[in-house]
Chains A and B, each alone.
Chain A
Amino acid sequence: MASVLDDRITLRYGAGGRAMRTLIREVLTAGLARDDGADEVGLAAMDDGAAIRVGDRWLVVTTDSHVIKPAFFPGGDIGRLAVSGTVNDLAMMGATDVLALTCAVVIEEGFAREDLVRIQRSIRDACAEAGAAIVTGDTKVMGRGEIDGIVLNTTGIALTDAVVRDCGLRAGDRLIVTGTLGDHGMAVMARRHGLELEADLRSDVAPINALIRAVLAAAPGAVVAMKDPTRGGVASALHEMAEKSGVGIVIDETALPVRAEVRAAAELLGIDPLHVANEGKAVLGVRPEAVDAVLAALRAQPLGEHAAVVGRCTADRVGAIVLDTGFGRRLVAEPEGELLPRIC
């Protein structure tokens, strides 16, 4: 496929899909990647974070900027999102014991101090849940209109003995999701577009490092790929995992755990729950013999209550995500651009 980069950066380049990866690969990381070699998982890998060998351990580092609108949404806010997002990215690399976090804020002139206090409290609470601490940061204020509300950037570092990549799948492996899908994205979308949907739609935003720690301990070596399905949803995560691993994936639609309200809201808006962002979930690639142990470890914790096996890897149709609907089969596309409600 021809790589088509426009002269001006439009919103689709931030949406987490193919366009964004093309931009990253062809513009942002051009000439930057050093030879990854055996001692580094770096830019070329485009994994959830980077890993650098230090002695006989790995130092994992990840960074995120958070620009979510609205800053406060049902189930959380930008502060909780910032901490959870970074902690979860570290966890997705297998680094569940956070060494430290940083937090930089850029605030628009006129932002309410009360809101800032609320956000800071959320950050504190999320850190406590994750067993993480913010050790340094930065503060900037920009003029009214020069930035929209508030932007947070968090960086996280952690040490781990073993790095879990997103490319380790092989035919026969099973795919497990740690809980219900689409909660975060639907909650935010309903708010954002003023869709006046009254429903119990709440973001699932939460740090899941403790959950992942339990899984890795219960089945050492058997979790061969992990990804958190944020922008672009489970569809995006599966596409990346399949492509990088060189496998095909078949998903059983009837096995996907989706709350009734999320399903209804998504249907009303013509949106596929597989394309919707999650902020407290993981997609795990697991060796078949370890599935029971992983499920048991997940379901033993509140955040993993609705964990389910949703699919398996195949040797054929590499890179394709096939959905078995119960009536037939179809492909799951990679989401492109911002999700917009359809005529409905």
Chain B
Amino acid sequence: MNPADPGVSELKFRDPARGRALSDTLARVTTEIGRAPVSIMHVCGSHEQAIARFGLRATLPRGLNVIMGPGCPVCITDVPEVDEGVVLARMGVRVATYGDMVKVPGTSLSLADAQAEGARIDVVYSVAHAVELARSIDEPLVFFATGFETTAVATAAAILDDPPPNFFVLSAHKYIPPVMEIVAEMPDTRVEGFLAAGHAATITGWGVFEPFVERHGIPVVVAGFEPLDILGGLVRLVELVRDRRATVENMFPRCVTKEGNLRAQEALWRVFRPIGGRWRGIAHVPNGNLRLRDAFAHVDARRRFDIDMRTLWDFAPAALTSECICGDIMAGIKSPHDCALFGKACVPGSPVGACMVSSEGTCRIWHQYGGHPDLGAPAERSSGGFCAR
């Protein structure tokens, strides 16, 4: 294994020693701010996943509140949008979607429920896979497209690549920057800094945050997803909060530039137009939803099929949904521990809200990894460790 090999150096972004040093620095800088708590928000399910998976929450300083905002693309897919997919599936149309989407509850049914009743749902790893599937069958195949702008780019590329006539897209894609505005403007918000998602910024460029920073005076740091990326990003963000500097900083230069990936942007905006829409739990987000432009009506499932939502009205919504506070959780106002259902009536095996369904949902992640566990410091290494790398 050649240490100069970039793939190997990438491993250095997982170096525990540097990680601990950054954690210590984070604690020190947070203390220097001199008032607690300092609240910063990230808007990316993958950031929360990474934070949770590497056990970083257990090492965050007590004075620092790292809140997960509405960054789980599956969770914020609104109920009517899920229902559209469910209705299509129950109409007998074959639906392909990402694994996460299958168990998200709509008004009362998820795609998995429809599948248990006989609907055909295909789990795909990539939209390209869905296109291949469409090519291999005669009947229509609808790709239920969820995810933020990074994922929407892939859908756009697939649409532009001359898919077969039986391939359709039901777009539930979302666009993140507008929701940061909403969060920054919420009356209860305490957010003093944003950690922006590195992959989305690879597409959009970091320049897209400059107007936001100017308008709201809140710093934004773009960070990657390895433990060092996240810790480094947090350190820089907290330094900016400490120094009261409202600016955008890029801590992921290996992937993110100011302008971003123009080719991907061109594909994205050629195929999609942003419209206002509801995000689950967050009322209206102007320009937050991505829909297919008229030029691509031939691929649009909404135009090809008459999706009649009334067919779902026979099902009474689950009684517990009125107690579900996913909306507040996604807006970063409450945490899963504030929810009466969390870990009791609402668990991954029987989720009430979307936050518990998706692997990027706050509740699911906290349930899986322990949230803010008081688990103590990393222990001595046990003897005889062997890692077959």
Contacts and interface: CB of A to CB of B under 8 A. Distances in A.
Interface of A: 1-2, 4, 8, 10, 12, 17-19, 174, 180, 193-196, 250, 252, 254-260, 263, 269-270, 272, 291, 295, 306, 308-312, 322-331, 333, 336-337, 340-344
Contact of A252 (B73, B147, B379): B379
A194 B59 CA distance: 39
B386 A324 contact: no
Contact of B349 (A4, A263, A272, A311): A4
B25 interface: no
Contacts of A1: 343-344, 347
Interface in B313-369: 343-345, 347-350, 359-360, 367-369
A17 B349 contact: yes
A306 B386 CA distance: 7
Contact of A328 (B54, B383, B385, B389): B54
B227 interface: yes
Interface in B11-28: 16, 19-20, 23
B73 A327 contact: no
A98 to B, nearest CB: 30
Contacts of A195: 125
A260 B389 contact: yes
B181 interface: no
Given A311-B382, A324-B379, A343 B98 contact: yes
A327 B16 contact: yes
B375 interface: yes
Interface of B: 16, 19-20, 23, 49, 52-59, 73-74, 98-100, 102-103, 112, 116, 123, 125, 129, 146-147, 151, 227, 231, 343-345, 347-350, 359-360, 367-370, 373, 375-379, 381-389
A330 B359 CA distance: 16
B384 A309 contact: yes
Given A193-B125, A256-B387, A342-B359, A327 B59 contact: yes
A260 B7 CA distance: 13
12 contacts: A1-B343, A257-B386, A257-B387, A259-B388, A260-B389, A322-B375, A327-B56, A328-B55, A337-B348, A340-B100, A343-B98, A343-B100
Given A326-B16, A331-B370, A254 B102 contact: no
Nearest to A322: B375
A312 B382 contact: yes
A331 B116 CA distance: 31
A179 to B, nearest CB: 9
B211 to A, nearest CB: 28
A325 B381 CA distance: 11
B73 A330 contact: no
B117 to A, nearest CB: 9
Interface centre among B23, B347, B384 (most CB of A within 10 A): B384
A262 to B, nearest CB: 9
A319 to B, nearest CB: 13
Given A260-B389, A329-B377, A330-B370, 11 more contacts: A4-B350, A12-B349, A18-B349, A306-B386, A310-B382, A327-B378, A328-B375, A330-B53, A331-B370, A333-B368, A337-B103
B388 A180 contact: yes
A330 B369 contact: yes
A330 B382 contact: no
A175 B74 CA distance: 37
A213 to B, nearest CB: 22
Contact of B99 (A252, A255, A272, A341): A341
Contact of B382 (A252, A259, A295): A252
Contacts of A291: 383-384
Contact of A343 (B58, B73, B382, B388): B73
A252 B375 CA distance: 13
A308 B386 contact: yes
A329 B378 contact: yes
A250 B20 CA distance: 19
Given A342-B98, A343-B147, A295 B384 contact: yes
Interface centre among A174, A195, A258, A329 (most CB of B within 10 A): A329
B74 A343 contact: yes
Contact of B379 (A12, A250, A295, A327): A250
Nearest to A306: B388
B10 to A, nearest CB: 12
B147 A329 contact: no
A258 B381 CA distance: 17
A92 B76 CA distance: 45
Contact of B367 (A10, A254, A308, A333): A333
A97 B136 CA distance: 50
Contacts of B98: 342-343
Contact of A333 (B103, B147, B369, B379): B369
A98 B126 CA distance: 46
Interface centre among A195, A269, A333 (most CB of B within 10 A): A333
A252 B381 CA distance: 7
A325 to B, nearest CB: 4
Interface centre among A17, A174, A336 (most CB of B within 10 A): A336
A19 B103 CA distance: 16
A165 to B, nearest CB: 24
A145 to B, nearest CB: 14
A308 B388 CA distance: 11
A301 to B, nearest CB: 16
Which 8 pairs of residues, A with B, have the shortest CB-CB distance? Answer: A328-B55, A255-B385, A340-B99, A331-B370, A326-B16, A329-B375, A330-B55, A333-B368
